[in-house]
Structure 1
């Protein structure tokens, strides 16, 4: 006889690429759940196999069948089932189906519990060295140029970093559109996160054409904040350079001091700081 107590929907984060990131709690939930809803049953099945896990049942749940599968999931949850929702990698719902199911569960009083874990946007922001807060996550950019432009224009003046996923075959086109709309700013390509060939490529957005056309793997892109809005005051830049010069002592080259200042100041390039430093030094020499 079906239970009269509603079940529970678990939102389970899975590894981005390193099986060691699958938490003990997440492992327990996916093995205990009556069914695991996943984007691609083959990919999830392979992941579980690599991690030594056995799920009772894998059920496809993706953009094309979300509405139909949602009704079946809700029926089972009403009857007391425990279901787990996973994405191909990382935290569900961040760029994947599931929001409507969670919303429907909340509306019906069905418990929804997150099992936190890996998240590509968070992992990228934590290790890239670009300002992490505030930030705006855009998911996947639209496939066409018009859609990309519409999305990026809406966030062009957002005072924070922009984070999005992109496929390798569309990366260069997306960066070209972003450079034309958003202006000069720092950027990072974070690829193959947590995997053997993990790489963080830091560059200037306006110099995107210099990037290798052969970047492979899963890509998370970070575009730094608008620099004209967040550029440190010149007086602050000069004060920072003076402090670094005083603490460095003799023998430290001006370009190295400019690099150190670049890490501490927002909106200044190493070249600009070097020019500021040498101009001030020349002014001091003239006065003496």
Structure 2
């Protein structure tokens, strides 16, 4: 235990996303020195520490279901002069992983926080994607249900910078199909199993990537980073007919036909027939 009466420090520590060699020496030392390690899943972190040869003092859970309650306990440990480390199962904590509630509370209360940077799937994927990196938006995981996911993709479609998302093996094919429907022809890059033996990066469109995954089911295994090129037309004012039709799908056909005629010209009856088919 840290015998100092001074207030302790919380270190937010990045851990490997696949390759154990990516655990930095600074990260190892920080974890070894910590009085308490806060882990998303203590079983996964225990295995990592054992493989890395890191001897630790105390390991406790901090995940999405307990982090609000755990935050006060974390503050009390820091008040007692203990030094803490926060890790997720893989990558940088808080990036689609638990930890925000604790970090936010401690930052607002004036506690000392320090970053021990390292692996992050979204940055790793972007760096080898070939897509523009001067401006990008991270969307995390999109909704699991197709309707809600398409609605979010319609909003993303107007982004002029690269959009980055995470997806699981169970939904990757459906997600790509939805991208193909909402952003037809848009360049998409998917990266899976980053830093691991079977790391793969595929480039195409939502439509063509679905075909590639169907042709080779092995390409559907693993965790995915999905990156979509920005809208080359400069935003929502340049949405395609298909994108607007999808966005208006919740409206009565008569009302949607009127809007389409106003935006793209033509006869309301013709649009009604097209939308009703």
**1:120 corresponding residue in structure 2:** 121
**1:50 corresponding residue in structure 2:** 51
Structure 1 residue 188: deviation in Å?
Answer: 1.1
C-alpha separation between the residues in 1 aligned to 2:34 and 2:3? 16
| Ranges in structure 2 where 5+ consecutive residues have no aligned partner | 236-277
C-alpha separation between the residues in 2 aligned to 1:12 and 1:138? 22
Structure 1 residue 4: deviation in Å?
Answer: 4.8
C-alpha separation between the residues in 2 aligned to 1:178 and 1:13? 31
**1:257 corresponding residue in structure 2:** none
Larger Rg: 1
Structure 1 residue 211: deviation in Å?
Answer: 2.1
**1:137 corresponding residue in structure 2:** 138
Structure 1 residue 224: deviation in Å?
Answer: 1.2
- Cα offsets for 1:38-75 (capped at 9, x unmatched): 11111111111111112211111111111121121111
Q: Secondary structure at the match of 1:74?
A: helix
Q: Does 1:221 align with 2:222?
A: no
Contact 1:187–1:221 at 8 Å: present in 2 too? yes
- Cα offsets for 1:74-127 (capped at 9, x unmatched): 111122211101111111111111112111111111101000111100100101
| Structure 1 residues 260-279: aligned runs within 5 Å | none
- Cα offsets for 1:170-205 (capped at 9, x unmatched): 111111222222332111110110111111111122
Bigger drift between 67-76 and 119-128 goes to 67-76
Q: Does 1:36 align with 2:37?
A: yes
Contact 2:173–2:213 at 8 Å: present in 1 too? no
Contact 2:189–2:204 at 8 Å: present in 1 too? yes
Q: Does 1:59 align with 2:60?
A: yes
Contact 2:184–2:205 at 8 Å: present in 1 too? no
Bigger drift between 65-74 and 166-175 goes to 65-74
| Structure 1 residues 153-232: aligned runs within 5 Å | 153-213=154-214, 214=217, 215-229=220-234
**1:244 corresponding residue in structure 2:** none
C-alpha separation between the residues in 2 aligned to 1:72 and 1:135? 36
Normalised by the size of structure 2, how large is the TM-score? Answer: 0.78
Bigger drift between 50-59 and 24-33 goes to 50-59
Aligned length: 230
Contact 1:182–1:226 at 8 Å: present in 2 too? no
Contact 2:39–2:88 at 8 Å: present in 1 too? yes
Structure 1 residue 222: deviation in Å?
Answer: 0.9
RMSD: 1.8
Q: Secondary structure at the match of 1:31?
A: helix
**1:269 corresponding residue in structure 2:** none
Normalised by the size of structure 1, how large is the TM-score? Answer: 0.76
C-alpha separation between the residues in 2 aligned to 1:74 and 1:211? 49
Q: Secondary structure at the match of 1:11?
A: strand
Structure 1 residue 2: deviation in Å?
Answer: 7.8
